[in-house]
Amino acid sequence: MRPVLFKLALIAIVAFVAGEAWGARLGWMTASALLLLYVIGFVVAIYRTIRWLEASQRRDAVDAPVGEWNSIAAVLYKARKTEAAYRAELDRSVTQLREVLERMPDGVVIVDAAMLIQWLNPMAEQHLGLTARKDVGLRLTNLVREPAFIDALTSSGDSVASVPVRLKSSRVVVLQTIPFSPTQTLIVTRDVSEADRLDTMRRDFIANVSHELRTPLTVLSGFLELATPTIPLSTQHLELMRTEAMRMQRLIDDLLVLSRLESTAAPSQEDHVALAPLVQRAVDLARALSAGRHEIRIEPMPADLRGAEREIESALTNLVTNAVRYTPAGGRIVVRAAFDTEGIALVVTDNGVGVAAEHIPRLTERFYRVDKSRSRDTGGTGLGLAIVKHVMLRHQGRLDVASTLGEGSSFSLWFPRQRVVLREPQAEPEPEPLVVS
């Protein structure tokens, strides 16, 4: 401010001196000319200052303002630089927040008071079947028409609510609505489908174990109630009791085996497993179960395996005995080995009753039975294929199933290449030398 007052005072002094020397009129003219020059210089200084500020933002090379405007420009430049730093920090924070929300394992949707979608992350797209590119700006309740979903949104009010919702896509999500402004609501979705599936399996497991144990216990307790000191149990009753007791024993044994397989990721000891005798033992058990009612054939085993022999034998025995149980009398069962580029498979093929396609994905669930009316007739515990699945997982392999209802099934134990042991070709015996006497 002082430089401006100094210049104005100097103009007044010069005009006064001119007026005293050459008259009042010339003094006023001098004052007017000097003021005009000062205003022109003032405008030019403003223009140069604005140009310099714009150029400094673009980092162009422009001369800095001079005089008092240099100080003014410095203050303006510092303010602009501070504002730019704040804006850059705000942009970084917004970008980081957006990246965090986009990478969250939970779905996030922001809606306004009319339930119009303002923003959503990729996980919300996956959970709710939406697409941000075309669905932003549309009403959420028009896009997801599940009654339970709409009820969960509308019933939460202004409080934080968490409600499980089962969608038509068979996905189960926990829906949480969080109002965070008078006109905006944050909707968080969490996929709990796997947890719901495991909980369902747990409930089914408890119900099935209870049922499987209750039936033989009912038989045993019923016969024991019939027995009195004067009326002993008949041989037939004792045989039934023994059968039911053995059934409970097999069930408990299978449960213990399954528990052991699940508790460790890999076998504690691995050996060279000779396939030919292993397959022969499994088929011998199957032939004993079949009692001559089926044709069971073994094709040559071209290689061996490395793994836990008892586990592999248990898995194969389960498959072969299952084939006997579900193949009508006179049916054919073949056990063979099949190579592919990645490993080897032990394949058990039959021409039995077959399995419908919708049941195949659930065959390895505990106690799952395709035909529950035959569950007691087949003599199995319902845990065999669950055991097979875990054996193969422990050997980095898998259980493959192909089946056609009414035509037969093919169950394969596939092992990766690193578990295949190729046999060395046996040398032919040299002929004995001819001895001439």
- Edge-to-edge strand order for the sheet containing 184-191? 117-120, 107-112, 184-191, 172-181, 161-166
Integer Cα distance of 317 and 361 in angstroms: 21
* Region for 191 from its dihedrals, namely left if φ exceeds 0, alpha if ψ lies in -120 to 50, beta otherwise: beta
- The candidate with the shortest Cα–Cα distance to 355, out of 398, 385, 326, is 326
Integer Cα distance of 169 and 173 in angstroms: 11
Q: Read out DSSP for 148-214? A: HHHHHHHHSTTS-EEEEEE-TTS-EEEEEEEEEETTEEEEEEEE-HHHHHHHHHHHHHHHHHHHHHH
At 348, is the secondary structure helix, strand, or coil? strand
CA atoms within 13 A on the CB side of 112: 8
Q: Residue 172 forms beta bridges with which residues?
A: 166
- The candidate with the shortest Cα–Cα distance to 210, out of 331, 382, 399, is 382
Place of tokens 């990478």: 103
CB contact at 8 A, 149 and 165: yes
Provide the terminal-to-terminal Cα distance of the chain, rounded to the nearest Å: 139
Integer Cα distance of 164 and 167 in angstroms: 10
Is 127 annotated as catalytic? no
- The candidate with the shortest Cα–Cα distance to 389, out of 399, 380, 379, 381, is 399
Q: Write down the catalytic residue from 211, 237, 294, 390.
A: 211
Torsion of CA 280, 413, 314, 220, to 10 degrees: -120
Residue 114 structure tokens: 């009319």
Q: Read out DSSP for 94-151? A: HHHHHHHHHH-SSEEEEEETT-BEEEE-HHHHHHHT--HHHHTTSBHHHH---HHHHH
Catalytic residues: 211
